[in-house]
Amino acid sequence: MKMNSIRVELCKQADDEHRASIRQYAHTYHHDNVICFARAATNLTDNQFWAIMAHEIGHLIAGYEGSESDANRAANQFFGIKIRYRDSKNGERLETITDKEARKVSRILSKMDFVKRL
């Protein structure tokens, strides 16, 4: 799979999943080569948004059978970051990265013409 063949979309199923679990903002494998986001993701901080984006890309790299830790490991290696988990108003144990790492993920993906912030 080529990274630039991945699309990002807002998704009703992701909205439903977010309503059921506040920390659920995105998912993969709903559609081929698509990362689906809940509309609520527009309320995330940049650090949270880019951490979740990196994590979801990590799922695609790790493969369908990959675990959450496999996804983080793949994202950490691909982007050269460290995904952490912190409680916030947007959810308990929500993915986050530093400001510098958020800029790095955004810059890498923008160079690939992959995605801009929702």
pLDDT tens figures, 66-101: 999 999 999 999 999 999 999 999 999 999 999 999
Average pLDDT for 35-53: 97
Tracing tokens 């948004």 back to the chain, one arrives at 49
Is residue 15 a contact partner of residue 39, using CB atoms and an 8 Å limit? yes
Highest CATH level, class, for 3-111: alpha beta
Distance CA 90, CA 93 (A): 9
Q: Residue 118: what pLDDT? A: 58
SS3 call for 84: strand
Band (1; pLDDT cuts 50, 70, 90): very low
Which residue stretches of the chain are H helix? 12-20, 46-62, 68-79, 99-111
Decide if pLDDT at 32 tops 60: yes
State pTM to two decimals.
0.91
Rounded to the nearest integer, the mean pLDDT of the chain is: 92
Strand ordering across the sheet containing 7-10: 7-10, 34-37, 26-28
Band (111; pLDDT cuts 50, 70, 90): confident
